[in-house]
Amino acid sequence: MEPRITDLQIQSRVHELLDLPVCTNQMSTAIYQCPIGHTKEVNNENSKTKPYNCPHSGSKCSVTGDIPWLLLHLRNDHNVDMHDGRSFSHRYVHHNPKHLHHATWMLTLLDCFGRQFCLYFEAFHLRRTPMYIAFVQFIGDEEEAMNFSYSLEVGGNGRKLKWQGVPRSIRDSHKTVRDSQDGLIITRKLAMFFSTDNTSNKELKLKVSGRVWREQ
């Protein structure tokens, strides 16, 4: 399958972690009526396991539930986009990256192989060095997550950086994964080289593409 380019301009939805919005956690009865693929299968698989915490990164959210429930919650309460297919490409932009310390961009859900994955992109500081990290997490348990691999690639202006990894289960929080640096790490300086038109201004414009596959 050809990679689909969906250059999401999501800078307006970047969340500053220093100023956390409160998750409303309100779900109307209409939400239950939304059809979702694979609900039955996933439901059976997870009926014996404990509920998952909401994997949303932009706000403190205490919602827990099984996978179908979380997918509805992410879509309806956090307005998270679902991307169908195993290849993806997203553009992360910010007008003033110099003043961006700890922040997380809008979460993207990936739907492939009948399962769902979360694509995260965050700004953080490692000691005093400003960094960005992108990584994928599996909506399911660790054991099953290990059946999958993913790659992420960022590039521009003749430079390219690639990461291959194993998606971590959402049993680990996105913060745990970020702090263990288990993902594509880009220093801010490097990110500015990749930014597509950094000659005209100092905007951050990163195109992160990647794919998920099942290990044989």
Question: Contact between 63 and Zn ion (CB under 5 A)?
Answer: yes
Question: Contact between 118 and Zn ion (CB under 5 A)?
Answer: no
Secondary structure class of 46 (helix, strand, coil) = helix
Candidate segments 30-38, 60-68, 136-144, 157-165, binder of Zn ion by CB under 5 A? 60-68
Question: Contact between 107 and Zn ion (CB under 5 A)?
Answer: no
Give the pair of three-digit tokens for residue 166: 């194993």
By beta-carbon proximity to Zn ion, the closer residue of 61 and 72 is 61
What's the CA gap between 111 and 166, in Å, rounded? Answer: 16
Contact 132, 43 (CB under 8 A): no
Candidate segments 49-57, 94-102, 116-124, 160-168, binder of Zn ion by CB under 5 A? 49-57
In angstroms, give the least distance from the CB of 116 to Zn ion: 14
What's the CA gap between 37 and 158, in Å, rounded? Answer: 40
What's the CA gap between 132 and 126, in Å, rounded? Answer: 10
By beta-carbon proximity to Zn ion, the closer residue of 65 and 165 is 65
Q: Which alpha helices (H) appear in the chain, and where do they start and end?
A: 39-46, 67-77, 142-145, 174-179, 188-194
Q: Which alpha helices (H) appear in 78-160, and where do they start and end?
A: 142-145
In angstroms, give the least distance from the CB of 75 to Zn ion: 11
Question: Contact between 207 and Zn ion (CB under 5 A)?
Answer: no
Q: Which of 15, 52, 56, 208 binds Zn ion (CB under 5 A)?
A: 56
As to burial, measured by CB atoms within 10 angstroms (0-12 exposed, 13-18 middle, 19+ buried), residue 106 is buried
In angstroms, give the least distance from the CB of 61 to Zn ion: 3
In angstroms, give the least distance from the CB of 160 to Zn ion: 34
Q: Which of 42, 61, 134, 191 binds Zn ion (CB under 5 A)?
A: 61
Question: Contact between 54 and Zn ion (CB under 5 A)?
Answer: yes
By beta-carbon proximity to Zn ion, the closer residue of 79 and 180 is 79
Half-sphere exposure of 119 (CA within 13 A, CB side): 27
By beta-carbon proximity to Zn ion, the closer residue of 48 and 50 is 50
In angstroms, give the least distance from the CB of 92 to Zn ion: 21
In angstroms, give the least distance from the CB of 72 to Zn ion: 11
As to burial, measured by CB atoms within 10 angstroms (0-12 exposed, 13-18 middle, 19+ buried), residue 191 is buried
Residues forming contacts to Zn ion in the complex (CB under 5 A) are 54, 56, 61, 63
